[in-house]
Structure 1
């Protein structure tokens, strides 16, 4: 996530993120659990793996979910939003995981260099980056940080929202199901149409991954606009 994109995640949005993210994404817990399962299946269990988590702010659910399977793995979490990163720190402390994860405030390019990571995760970030150049840039930055052959777990919205009116209407109904009024639903629909720029198809996601240095992309979760994939860093 860029500094500009992080401005959307101010203190007011951070305060509601824990509950609202679970409404906005039907299957929030399932997606993160399956992401953890895919990562463990890809890397094998045990050992001292180092996982890069891009956009860890908010719930730090990636760290929480993976830690349930792999208690010896360690994490570096990066996020440019200070309020969101503070929430992640609080969540990790409450879960007894703060000694397993190092949190870094800033964008990925401000993270110090070092040994390549064994894997990376980036959930809920790509559609907040405007334009293909920014999307490609962050994926290339991740590729440069992980070892050849290492897996990336990627998740986020795909499709231009207005191009899928039935999915958009169903998304609004989910908010109504959780107590939103008709006016609140209308406001949320207007906000999503203006506030994000998702890739326009799964094929567009795969093209971005390929051009950034990843191969063998495979889908493992879908929920309305949301998709989740695993891909592998190409050999050098």
Structure 2
């Protein structure tokens, strides 16, 4: 009876704690090329599936990651992100990838991916990469050929500490990992969070909070869109 009770409880675990086992679903077909119109197929993992007989090599193809991008912005960075929206063949495959161009002293500011871990590899220049877990900082200086792993859901960043522009490539284990930038989220919400609330949270004067909200507010140009 005790064994039966244990098995019954175990079978209910996914229903009671669904987020504890959440991840991109494993595909049960070779591919499901994502399209946006229901006339093209059934809805799977946020997209409709194209008729597989109509799929082409272009559905699984992306070009342009060899191109340098303009980094003349407040962060000194430009991220080219390839996910299911511009590579429809990624739908249900649980992967995405990106290129980051980082100017000297530029950075990919602190952020996290709620649905993916990330592996970052440097192909040009030098980056200081790091993440924070339970208030413990893990950092490493990355040169050409080095890689660093960011666990899922942890705050991480990368800074160009070298003398030349840096280029890095990243792979993430979700077709849509999501990206939450800390400053943009906290100080750029629409409508804004009450400055007095943030002043207490960050132990800053409310006038400083208002200045930060003016910098990161929703009217500010979006620089990092990935």
Instruction: Answer whether TM exceeds 0.5 for this pair.
Output: no
**Which structure: greater strand fraction?**
2
Higher relative contact order (CA 8 A, sep 6+): 1
How high is the TM-score relative to the length of structure 2? 0.29
How high is the TM-score relative to the length of structure 1? 0.28
**Which structure: greater helix fraction?**
1
